[in-house]
Amino acid sequence: MLPADISAPSGPGRLAPRNVLLTGATGFIGAQLLHDLLGLRDVRVFCLIRSASAPEAVRRVQANLRHHGLWDESLVPRIVPVVGDLSQPGLGLPPEVLDGLAQTLDTLVHSGALVNLLNDYEAHRAVNVAGTVELLRLASRGRPKSLHHLSTLSVFPESARARAAGKIPEDAEPSEASLPTDGYSQSKWVAERLLSQGRSRGIPVTLYRLGEVMPHSGKGTPNPRGLADVLLQACLRLGLSFESSIRLDYTPVDHVSRFVVEVLRSNSARGGCFHVLQPESISFDDILATFARRGLGLRKVPYAEFWQALTERVARYPTEKGLASLVALLPVPLGAGDDPGDRRAEDALAALFTDATRHYALERTTQALNDMALRWPPVDARVLGARAEHHLAALRRGLAGQPSPRAARRARSAAAR
C-alpha cells in the first residue's frame, strides 16, 4: 500500500520538460535516455548516481556514454550529478538537497532498477519497490511533476497470458491471480501496483512496459543484462550456434528511448501505459545466420554440445561477465542429438523467451507513434549487422573475451576483408 502522505501537489505542471531527474543513467537504457533527453533544447538532466562524490558520479556517467558511443563534450553543462541511492529513504539525499529538487524538477524518468533473474524478491525490493515509493514521494512534493516509469512485460507471467482473452491490453493491470515467478518481475509487479495508486491520487504517471531491449540499431553495443544478448554473446565467444525455436521481439535501445522521450515531451501522449516493442518478432536462428554471413565463424552444433562448451568455458574463465549466470539460467540437456531429453531441453530453452508480439496489444503505442509522426524502423540486416560489426571491432581491440581459435581466425579474416 502506498503511504498515505503521497498525493499530487497543487498547482499547474510545466507543459514542456526543463529539469528532468533520471535514474539509471549508468545503465544500458539509461545511457540512451540521457543522450536523447539532452537532445531536447534547454533541458537539464539531474542524474541520480550512487557514488562517493559528485566528480566521481560525473566520471561514471561519462564513461558509460563513451562505452555506448554516445559521449559529446558539449553535453557536460546540462548534466547535473545528484549523489544518492534509490534503495535508501529519501533517495539517500540530505533534506535540503531533496527540498531543492522538489522545487526545481518538473519531470522524473525512472529507468534505474536492479535486474538479476537468479535473485528473489527480497533482493530486488529495496531498489525496485522502495525506490519507486521514494520517487512517488518526490513527485508529491514541491512543484507538480510527471513521473515516467520503465517497467517490463514480464509483470504478466505465462499464467496471465493464458488467462487473457486475446492479447493483453495496455490498460491491463497486473493481477494477484497471476503472480510472476522470478524476483525481478515480482518487484516490478509490486511497483506497478504502487504507481497505479499514485495515479489514482492525482500524480501524472506514464508507464512503459518493455520487451527485449536490444543493441543500438546503428552502434550495436550489447545489453549486458538482456538474456537474449547474453546468449548471443556466448555464441560469439564460443564460435558456436545451435538451431532453436526461439522467437523474440527485438527492439533496439535507441528505438525505445526515442519513443519514451517523444512521449515525455508530448502533452497529448502522456499518461497511462504503453507496450514498447517492435510489432514483428524475429527468430534467434535468423540473428545467428546474419552473424555467420558477416564472417563470424559460428559452427552449428546440437544444443547439448553448445551447453557443454559453455560450461567448460565458464569453468576456465569463471569471472567472465554474464556467462556464469547464463549457465545457471539455461536448461541442462538430458540427452544428445535426437534424444527426447535433448528435445525437452530445447523446448525449455525456447520457453525462456517470449514472442511478445503474440501476447501484448499495441494499439495505444501505435496511436502515439502515429500522433508523433514516428514509426518503428525495421529490424533488418543493417540493424543485425551493426551488432556483428561491434563484436568484430571488439575482437580487433582485444575486448571480446577469449574466442575459440576458429572464431578468432574467421574474425581476423573478416576484418581483413
pLDDT in tens, the chain (417 residues): 899 999 998 877 667 899 999 999 999 999 999 999 999 999 999 999 999 999 999 999 999 999 999 999 998 899 999 999 999 999 999 999 999 999 999 999 999 999 998 899 999 999 999 999 999 999 999 999 999 999 999 999 888 888 888 999 999 999 887 899 999 999 999 999 999 999 999 999 999 999 999 999 999 998 888 888 899 989 988 999 998 999 999 999 999 999 999 999 987 677 899 999 999 999 999 999 888 888 887 899 999 999 999 999 999 998 887 788 899 899 998 754 445 456 788 788 888 888 999 999 999 999 999 999 999 999 998 999 998 888 888 877 765 544 444 444 444 444 334
| Rounded CA separation 150/133 (Å) | 14
User: What pLDDT sits at residue 415?
Assistant: 39
d(CA 417, CA 415): 5
- Look at residue 14 in the predicted model and tell me its pLDDT: 67
* Positive or negative torsion for Cα 295, 300, 305, 307: positive
Residue carrying the nine cell digits 530486488: 124
Choose among 78, 7, 12: nearest CA to 40.
78
Say what angle helices 131-139 and 183-200 make with each other, to 10 degrees: 20
Q: Which of 379, 406, 382 is nearest to 395 (CA)?
A: 406
Largest CA distance in the chain: 67
**88 burial class (0-12, 13-18, 19+ CB within 10 angstroms)?**
middle
Task: Give the pLDDT score at 400.
Answer: 53
Instruction: Look at residue 106 in the predicted model and tell me its pLDDT.
Output: 95
Ordered by start, the domain boundaries in the chain are 19-210
Residue that has been written with the C-alpha cell 527485438 in this structure = 250
Which triple of cell numbers denotes residue 246? Answer: 526461439
Looking at residue 335, its pLDDT comes to 57
Domain spanning 19-210 has what CATH number? 3.40.50.720
Q: What is d(CA 371, CA 154) in angstroms, rounded to the nearest whole number?
A: 27
| Angle, alpha carbons 209-26-100 (nearest 5°) | 90
pTM score: 0.91
Distances from the Cα of 51 to the Cα of 55, 113, 380, angstroms:
9, 16, 39
